[in-house]
């Protein structure tokens, strides 16, 4: 038995005729720069989420960076976030010119602790950047109260949480900007790199488009006629756009997204059911939250030994995200890393991420759970 961590080819084979046709359409259409696929995808993605505006970017990291730049956050500003995430959450803040201020997380969800976020606010704080770890929403109602009290923006890293919700309000509808990733292994996985930033604010969406597209107004490129107007750079933009081929393929996958997300949730339920009555505790889900389980993560005292035993049984596992950022070579000598993060540290030494995705049958989930329970007892 070999169970890989994830396998994009299962869905590719299911959707191959449509995906191949979409690639051919984009290539034969002759407009790979400022073509029709990107704005079409953005409109469809925004509709799926129930938000007003989506801006396609070439990664989740780029979406975070473009969001911060468009909010005017940069040198001299502080942004409060967590150390137990993808490096993109913190790197985007620093590449925008601002300073990341890490705070510790809640032990059950691993998400930012709103009380500690509140305590970390200074006169320089411009925003809070919560991460919806593994697909479980951060405590957005509490964070909005903190942000409202101090006049801060919320830029949400929902790269793992497409389809998640709190109550009847989807992730995407809570923050000033919510950022998603279309990396191949995410819920809406592209075939390369991609991301999006969504917002209810039309002017902010236009600024994000500019920062992602050379500082130019998008509309300039969509005018009819052979004589394009002169170049006009309205801000110091980058080239961080979602490309036409990714947009074309993501448009094929989007109508299947509900089913894809449900597939993760069903496999998580199969894991949790199979783990009931074993020493391994299934992940917590807060009441009223929809957790979409991009990762199914358990916590084990003897994590490394269990991991080796599972590898011996042919079962791949992951470590998202360990060691946490304050223990990484790039940050560990900085002043920020000297502060204590006892919860993030403890989660980092115990977490184990199980394989999940369309390549796992119910039997596979049961086998993995049984192997895990055996290895952990
Ligand atoms: C995947 C991910 C990112 C980065 O997304 P990319 O598309 O790889 O740049 C950022 N934050 C979190 C929490 C992620 O899971």
Q: In sequence order, what DSSP letters do the residues of 26-52 get, joined into one string?
A: HHHHT--SS-SHHHHHHHHHHHHHT-S
Protein residue with least CA distance to atom 6, ligand 1: 60
Q: How far away, in angstroms, is 239 Cα from ligand 1 center?
A: 18
Query: What are the distances in angstroms from CA 164 to CA 111, 261, 288, 295, 359?
Result: 14, 9, 11, 13, 21
Closest Cα to residue 107, out of 73, 133, 140?
133
Which pair of structure tokens corresponds to residue 163? 């389809």
Residue 222's pLDDT is what? 85
Q: How far away, in angstroms, is 132 Cα from ligand 1 center?
A: 11
Residue 219's pLDDT is what? 87
Ligand 1, residue 183: give the atom nearest the CA: 7
Protein residue with least CA distance to atom 5, ligand 1: 60
Instruction: Using DSSP, state whether 146 is helix, strand or coil.
Output: helix
Residue 195's pLDDT is what? 98
Residue found by looking up tokens 């990396």 in the block: 183
Is the distance from CB of 177 to CB of 54 less than 8 angstroms? no
Ligand 1, residue 62: give the atom nearest the CA: 9
Q: How far away, in angstroms, is 322 Cα from ligand 1 center?
A: 15
Dist. CA 351–CA 284, nearest whole Å: 13
Taking the chain (377 residues) in consecutive chunks of 10 residues, what is each chunk's mean pLDDT?
A: 90 97 96 94 98 98 98 98 98 98 98 98 98 98 98 98 97 98 97 98 98 93 80 95 98 98 97 95 97 98 97 96 97 95 98 96 92 94
Q: How far away, in angstroms, is 65 Cα from ligand 1 center?
A: 12
Residue 51's pLDDT is what? 98
Instruction: Using DSSP, state whether 21 is helix, strand or coil.
Output: helix
- Ligand 1 pocket test: pick from 132, 177, 183 the residue with the most ligand atoms within 8 Å of its Cβ: 183
Residue found by looking up tokens 């390369």 in the block: 192
Q: How far away, in angstroms, is 190 Cα from ligand 1 center?
A: 13
Residue 366's pLDDT is what? 93
Q: How far away, in angstroms, is 366 Cα from ligand 1 center?
A: 29
Ligand 1, residue 294: give the atom nearest the CA: 15
Q: How far away, in angstroms, is 61 Cα from ligand 1 center?
A: 6
Ligand 1 lining (C-beta closer than 6 Å): 59-61, 85-86, 88-89, 131, 157, 159-160, 181, 183, 193, 195
- Ligand 1 pocket test: pick from 56, 160, 238, 264 the residue with the most ligand atoms within 8 Å of its Cβ: 160
Ligand 1, residue 320: give the atom nearest the CA: 15
Ligand 1, residue 186: give the atom nearest the CA: 1
Residue 225's pLDDT is what? 73
Q: How far away, in angstroms, is 189 Cα from ligand 1 center?
A: 12
Closest Cα to residue 56, out of 321, 317, 248, 305?
248
Closest Cα to residue 282, out of 208, 224, 368, 204?
368
At 112, phi and psi to the nearest 5? -55, 140
Q: How far away, in angstroms, is 279 Cα from ligand 1 center?
A: 31
């Amino acid at each position: 038995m070999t169970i890989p961590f994830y396998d994009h080819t299962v869905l590719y084979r299911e959707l191959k005729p449509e995906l191949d046709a979409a690639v051919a359409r984009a290539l034969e259409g002759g407009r790979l720069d400022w073509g029709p696929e990107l704005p079409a995808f953005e409109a469809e993605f925004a509709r799926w989420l129930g938000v007003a505006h989506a801006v396609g970017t070439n990664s989740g990291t780029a979406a975070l960076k473009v969001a911060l730049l468009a909010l005017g956050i940069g040198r001299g500003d502080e942004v409060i976030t967590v150390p137990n995430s993808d490096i993109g959450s913190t790197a985007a803040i620093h590449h925008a010119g601002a300073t990341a201020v890490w705070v510790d997380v809640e032990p059950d969800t691993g998400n930012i602790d709103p009380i500690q976020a509140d305590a970390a606010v200074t006169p320089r704080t411009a925003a809070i950047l919560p991460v919806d770890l593994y697909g479980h929403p951060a405590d957005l109602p509490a964070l909005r109260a903190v942000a409202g009290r101090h006049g801060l923006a919320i830029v949400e890293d929902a790269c793992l949480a497409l389809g998640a919700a709190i109550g009847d309000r989807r992730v995407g509808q809570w923050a000033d900007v919510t950022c998603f990733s279309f990396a191949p292994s995410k819920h809406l996985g592209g075939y390369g790199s991609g991301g999006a930033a969504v917002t209810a604010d039309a002017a902010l969406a236009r600024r994000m488009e500019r920062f992602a597209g050379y500082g130019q107004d998008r509309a300039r490129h969509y005018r009819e006629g052979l004589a394009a107007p002169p170049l006009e750079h309205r801000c110091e933009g980058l080239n961080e756009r979602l490309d036409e081929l990714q947009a074309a393929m993501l448009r094929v996958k989007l109508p299947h997204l509900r089913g894809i997300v449900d597939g993760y949730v069903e496999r998580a339920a199969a894991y949790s059911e199979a783990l009931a009555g074993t020493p391994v505790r299934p992940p917590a889900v807060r009441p009223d939250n929809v957790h979409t389980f991009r990762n199914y993560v358990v916590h084990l005292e003897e994590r490394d030994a269990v991991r080796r035993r599972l590898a011996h049984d042919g079962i791949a596992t992951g470590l998202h995200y360990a060691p946490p950022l304050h223990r990484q070579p790039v940050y560990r000598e900085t002043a920020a890393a000297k502060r204590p993060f006892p919860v993030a540290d403890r989660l980092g030494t115990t977490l184990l991420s199980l394989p999940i995705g369309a390549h796992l049958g119910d039997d596979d989930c049961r086998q993995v759970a049984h192997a895990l329970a055996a290895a952990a007892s």
